[in-house]
Amino acid sequence: MSKDALFAVSLFPYLGFLWFLTRSKQAPRLALIGFYMTLVFVGVTIPAGIYAKIVYGESLANVDWLHGGAEFFLTLSNILVVLGFRQAVIEKSRREWVSQEESRQQKV
């Protein structure tokens, strides 16, 4: 199987992952946005790779300014995922702390 075909086929499991994650309503919103931003990365990378091949005769990885621009979107999506889950962990910890404090006050 060619690299391009493998790339195209791998999109379907990822779309399924997004569908289930969105439908579950369990993922932090910011993290979910980050996972969707990965599709933006893919959408930017494909035309950038074509442009690099046509204009420079090189793969995208060998044209630094295009490669860096495309990778920016992957970095952004990763940051959003991390911040989304970080925010969820902080909120859960805060809720647990408040719940413990309320329990202590009721006992007094």
71-91 pLDDT per residue, tens: 999 999 999 999 999 999 999
Please tell me the distance from the alpha carbon of residue 46 to that of residue 26, in angstroms, as a whole number: 31
- Signed CA dihedral, 86, 90, 96, 100: sign only: positive
**Residue 42 belongs to some domain of the structure:** yes
**Residue 38 belongs to some domain of the structure:** yes
90 token code pair: 């902080």
**Residue 91 belongs to some domain of the structure:** yes
pLDDT in tens, 34-69: 999 999 999 999 999 999 999 999 999 999 999 999
**Residue 16 belongs to some domain of the structure:** no
pLDDT band of residue 108 (cuts 50, 70, 90) is low
**Residue 72 belongs to some domain of the structure:** yes
Cα three-residue angle 91-92-97, rounded to 5 degrees: 95
Number of compact structural domains in the chain: 1
**Residue 102 belongs to some domain of the structure:** yes
Q: What is the domain range of residue 43?
A: 28-107
**Residue 100 belongs to some domain of the structure:** yes
Helices (DSSP H) in 1-108: which residue ranges? Answer: 3-24, 29-51, 64-107
